[in-house]
């Protein structure tokens, strides 16, 4: 009777959940990365778990690159479906958050300087499904992590929307007039386009 495979689940910082499997008949260590199974290390039964972990660390650069490629493919698929979602894997979510922070915060700072907004608050990247962004009464701005999935012109629309709240803490006529002027008369079109995206 063939012996059953032995499995061990570990969490690796920067990579996330990894499944180690000792397989009968396996003669070498092997790493696979797939959307369904995640990161998996296959190894001979006689090899200690610690050797599998060392092998994973030695291949970390390749694994991280593979995860990044999958994240980009997932984002492209989501973008084409006009649905904005985040990955379930915590490590992938953190990478997406870092990408959003590195992209959106400089775009907001650039818009602040370009249009002369008196922004001195904090910028926070949020993971929520209720809105694309918000501006508090204290002048702090929250941006949804899913904005990184959207086209750049919609990212800028949301950023300018929140910056306009620094001058008008409402959605009255003056607010819309200011936003429309900054967008070259395209506010209604961009608002309509953004509504075509679903946050999940």
Structure tokens at 81: 């479906």
Tell whether 81 is covered by a domain. Answer: no
How much is the pLDDT for 85? 79
Q: Are residues 100 and 145 in the same domain?
A: yes
DSSP class of residue 89?
Answer: S
How much is the pLDDT for 154? 95
Average pLDDT over residues 6-35: 88
- Each residue of 91-146: pLDDT tens digit? 888 889 998 999 999 999 999 999 999 899 999 999 999 999 999 999 999 999 99
Q: Are residues 107 and 168 in the same domain?
A: yes
Instruction: Decide if pLDDT at 156 tops 80.
Output: yes
Total domain count for the chain? 2
How many residues in total does the chain contain?
Answer: 200
How much is the pLDDT for 79? 59
Q: Are residues 139 and 42 in the same domain?
A: no
Tell whether 36 is covered by a domain. Answer: yes
Tell whether 102 is covered by a domain. Answer: yes
How much is the pLDDT for 146? 94
Q: Are residues 90 and 184 in the same domain?
A: yes
Question: Is the pTM of the predicted complex or chain greater than 0.75?
Answer: no
Percent over 70 (pLDDT), the chain: 92
> Domain residues for 48?
6-73
Helices marked H in the chain: 49-58, 60-80, 90-115, 152-164, 173-182, 187-195
Tell whether 160 is covered by a domain. Answer: yes
How much is the pLDDT for 41? 94
Q: Are residues 99 and 194 in the same domain?
A: yes
Q: Domain boundary residue among 73, 99, 122?
A: 73
Which CATH number is 121's domain given? 3.30.2010.10
Phi, psi of 185 (to 5 degrees): 80, 15
Q: Are residues 99 and 193 in the same domain?
A: yes
């Amino acid at each position: 009777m063939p012996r059953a495979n032995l499995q061990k689940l570990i969490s690796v910082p920067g990579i996330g959940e990894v499944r180690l499997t000792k397989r009968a008949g396996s003669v070498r260590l092997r790493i696979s990365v797939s959307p369904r199974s995640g990161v998996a290390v296959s190894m001979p039964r006689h090899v200690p778990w610690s050797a599998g972990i060392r092998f994973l660390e030695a291949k970390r650069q390749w694994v991280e690159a593979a995860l990044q490629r999958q994240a980009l493919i997932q984002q492209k698929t989501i973008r084409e479906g006009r649905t904005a979602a985040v990955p379930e894997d915590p490590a992938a979510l953190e990478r997406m958050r870092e990408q959003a922070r590195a992209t959106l915060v400089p775009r907001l700072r650039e818009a602040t300087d370009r249009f002369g907004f008196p922004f001195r608050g904090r910028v926070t990247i949020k993971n929520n499904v209720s809105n694309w962004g918000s501006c508090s009464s204290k002048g702090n701005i929250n941006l949804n992590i899913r904005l990184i999935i959207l086209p750049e012109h919609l990212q800028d629309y949301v950023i300018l929307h929140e910056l306009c709240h620094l001058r008008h803490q409402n959605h009255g006529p003056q607010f819309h007039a200011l936003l429309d002027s900054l967008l070259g008369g395209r506010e209604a079109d961009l608002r309509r386009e953004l509504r075509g995206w679903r946050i999940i």
